[in-house]
Amino acid sequence: MVNEQMGTARTPGRPRSEKAEKAIVDATIDLIAEGSGVAELSIEAIAARAGVGKTTIYRRWSSKEDLVVDALATLKAPLPELDGTSVRENVVRYLAAMQHESHDRRTRCIMNIALSESDRFPNLAERFREIAIKPRREALRGIIQRGVDSGELRADVDVEVAMAALTGAMLFFTKWGDTDGELPADLAERVTDQVLGGLRP
């Protein structure tokens, strides 16, 4: 997204319209959620769905990939408060947020893009990792590392493997689960207790 510096001087062109920008982002997400891959997605289709002209889109984004990254990044809800009194409490909150996001059809398209489009659009995948994935990985890494430092977890815990075990287990249920029904309400607690059981002193 084109960043505009705040100041008293007016930037060239018409004032930025938040309403138009939201319509464009929503249209992009809806088209992807309906099955359009990045390759098939067109600026023309996005403009038509959003009710704007193509120039309105190009005024804000220099390429389709930039637009897709920004649109998908809006679907990542802010991280929950991770200042619980224990490693377990923070991990449960983190995994519960992952589970909650899996219920939304529009949010699920993030994982579809991450899994199916990264090879074809490496720049998109890299930017998306920086914007939406890396902050969450750092948050989880911090939780595990603080547990090691405080003695709640073993000193020899492999932090990266622990992160993979926790998030991988949740993805197993939310993305590849056998049932189409609702996931157990206590799934985050169950995954957390099973994995952390092997990491405690």
- The domain ranges of the chain are 18-64, 87-196
Q: Which of 3-17, 83-97, 103-117, 186-200 has the lowest mean pLDDT?
A: 3-17
Q: How far is Cα 178 from Cα 186, in angstroms, rounded to an integer?
A: 17
Do residues 112 and 175 lie in contact, with contact meaning Cβ atoms separated by under 8 Å?
Answer: no
Average pLDDT over residues 120-142: 84
Q: Which of 7-11, 17-21, 68-72, 114-118 has the lowest mean pLDDT?
A: 7-11
CA atoms within 13 A on the CB side of 190: 9
- List, as one string, the DSSP characters of 10-28: PPSSSPP-HHHHHHHHHHH
pLDDT of res. 154: 96
CATH class of 18-64: mainly alpha
Q: How far is Cα 172 from Cα 92, in angstroms, rounded to an integer?
A: 16
Mean pLDDT of the chain, nearest integer = 83
Question: Does 1 score more than 80 pLDDT?
Answer: no
CA atoms within 13 A on the CB side of 168: 8
**Residue length of the chain:** 201
Query: What tens digit of pLDDT does each residue of 28-86 get?
Result: 989 988 878 888 899 999 999 999 999 999 999 998 888 988 888 787 767 777 887 89
Nearest to 87 by CA among 145, 6, 47: 145
* Torsion sign across C-alpha atoms 78, 192, 87, 165: negative
pTM for the structure as a whole: 0.72
Q: How confident is the model at residue 200 (pLDDT cuts 50, 70, 90)?
A: very high
Do residues 174 and 95 lie in contact, with contact meaning Cβ atoms separated by under 8 Å?
Answer: no
CATH of 87-196, one of 1.10.357.10, 1.10.645.10, 1.20.120.920, 1.25.40.340: 1.10.357.10
φ, ψ of residue 121 to 5 degrees: the values are -130, 70
Structure tokens, 184: 């157990």
Question: Does 179 score more than 70 pLDDT?
Answer: no
